[in-house]
């Protein structure tokens, strides 16, 4: 099944402004550059998460079988609203030798990065029960360590971080095709990022009492994050300076996520450095390569890319 990224979706809309903003958002954002997206009608959707197959059986002539059906767990979902307003003082912009448009574009790029980071952070740590404006992230969807499951613990109990694994492809199994993880855009995805030049506006200063003229750009985005099957995502939690990722933990996570296979491992820079330590002074089996690669950084595990996402914090609550 064909998957499209947020940038692919922006290009399909034919909106040049959206394409430029999404390109800026995706440049240094591993999850956002890889996560498949699709548009939905309106802002809400319901979907069935199948958790059990119907019962069938062999019978003889003139015999029947009790009726049964699949066990479907109904899930309701609503996209959330991300907004931002870029303002540049008129006098400041017009005094810059680069020109007004260059100054505004520089500020707009900062908002693009902030949008991407806000979405990513919510994908990990969002909790709609605590903050209704957020959608649920992986710490809510995968809340605890599971024996033999796809949440593993490195052993830490304070100042922790995690490695997160995502599978973006559907899995074909004995239970049929199973969808994994997906980003959602409201209203059919026609406005991937709604960016509107508001021109000169009178805005209020930080003190809240005085006004001045500024060039303003309005940004709106209605995204969501859906996990159709919890086997398509995984986590190695409770990582810190004393309790680090191991070859065994990485192998176990890949195995436990079957029938899905991770397309990427994401971690922050600190955990990425811990992974480099696994090479030691001799080549460690599992990363592929040869002893001549000792002084190159580990960028893959079993062919799966390992990428940095600084929206993953080093102060996560201990998972138990």
* Tens-digit pLDDT profile for residues 29-83: 889 889 999 888 888 888 776 666 688 888 888 888 888 887 777 878 888 998 9
Q: With 0.75 as the threshold, say if the pTM is over it.
A: yes
pLDDT exceeds 80 at position 167: yes
Instruction: Give the up-direction half-sphere exposure of residue 309: CA atoms within 13 A in the CB hemisphere.
Output: 31
Highest mean pLDDT (candidates 7-21, 57-71, 80-94, 197-211): 80-94
Q: Specify the DSSP element, H or E, that contains 296.
A: none
Q: How confident is the model at residue 288 (pLDDT cuts 50, 70, 90)?
A: low
Q: Give the three-state DSSP class for 243.
A: coil
Highest mean pLDDT (candidates 15-24, 65-74, 102-111): 102-111
Task: Give CA torsion, residues 6, 7, 11, 17, to 10 deg.
Answer: 100
pLDDT at site 76: 81
Q: Is the dihedral of CA 116, 225, 273, 264 positive or negative?
A: negative
Q: Say if CB 24 and CB 109 are below 8 A apart.
A: yes
Say how many C-beta atoms besides its own lie within 10 A of residue 212's C-beta. Answer: 14
Q: Say if CB 43 and CB 186 are below 8 A apart.
A: yes
Q: Is the dihedral of CA 255, 256, 259, 264 positive or negative?
A: negative
Averaged pLDDT of the chain: 86
Q: Give the three-state DSSP class for 239.
A: strand
Sheet-wide strand order for 181-185: 37-39, 181-185, 223-227
Q: Is the dihedral of CA 161, 165, 168, 170 positive or negative?
A: negative
Q: Say if CB 151 and CB 235 are below 8 A apart.
A: yes
pLDDT at site 113: 85
pLDDT at site 157: 94
Extents of the domains making up the chain: 6-49+71-308
Query: pLDDT for 210-254, tens place per residue?
Result: 999 999 999 888 999 998 888 899 999 999 999 999 999 999 999
Cα(123)–Cα(200) distance, integer angstroms:
35
Q: Say if CB 317 and CB 275 are below 8 A apart.
A: no
Cα(156)–Cα(107) distance, integer angstroms:
40
Cα(156)–Cα(153) distance, integer angstroms:
8
Q: Give the three-state DSSP class for 165.
A: strand
Question: Which position has the higher pLDDT, 110 or 118?
Answer: 118
Say how many C-beta atoms besides its own lie within 10 A of residue 153's C-beta. Answer: 21
Task: Determine the Cα angle at 166 with ends 160 and 172, to 5°.
Answer: 145
């Amino acid at each position: 099944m064909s998957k499209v990224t947020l940038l692919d979706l922006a290009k399909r809309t034919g909106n040049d402004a959206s394409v430029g903003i999404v390109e800026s958002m995706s440049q240094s954002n591993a999850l956002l550059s890889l996560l498949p997206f699709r548009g939905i009608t309106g802002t809400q959707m319901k979907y069935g998460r199948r958790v059990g197959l119907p019962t069938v059986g062999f019978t003889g002539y003139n015999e029947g079988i009790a009726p049964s059906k699949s066990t479907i767990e109904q899930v309701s979902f609503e996209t959330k609203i991300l907004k931002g307003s870029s303002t540049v003082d008129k006098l400041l912009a017009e005094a810059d030798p680069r020109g007004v448009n260059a100054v505004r574009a520089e500020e707009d790029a900062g908002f693009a990065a902030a949008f991407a980071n806000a979405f990513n952070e919510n994908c990990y740590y969002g909790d709609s029960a605590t903050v209704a404006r957020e959608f649920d992230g992986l710490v809510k969807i995968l809340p605890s360590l599971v024996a033999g499951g796809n949440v593993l613990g490195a052993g830490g109990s304070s100042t922790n971080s995690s490695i997160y694994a995502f599978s973006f492809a559907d899995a074909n199994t004995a239970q049929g095709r199973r969808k994994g993880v997906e980003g959602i855009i409201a209203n059919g995805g026609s406005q991937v990022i709604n960016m509107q030049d508001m021109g000169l506006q009178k805005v209020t200063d930080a003190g809240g009492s005085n006004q001045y003229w500024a060039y303003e750009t309005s940004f709106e985005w209605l995204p969501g994050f859906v996990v159709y099957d919890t086997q398509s995502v995984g986590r190695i939690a409770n990582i810190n300076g004393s309790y680090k990722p191991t070859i065994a933990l990485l192998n176990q996570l890949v195995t436990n996520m079957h029938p899905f296979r991770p397309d990427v491992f994401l971690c922050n820079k600190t955990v990425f450095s811990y992974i480099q330590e696994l090479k030691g002074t001799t080549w460690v089996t599992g990363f592929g390569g040869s002893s001549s690669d000792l002084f190159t950084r580990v960028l893959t595990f079993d062919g799966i890319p390992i990428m940095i996402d600084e929206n993953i914090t080093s102060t996560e609550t201990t998972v138990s």
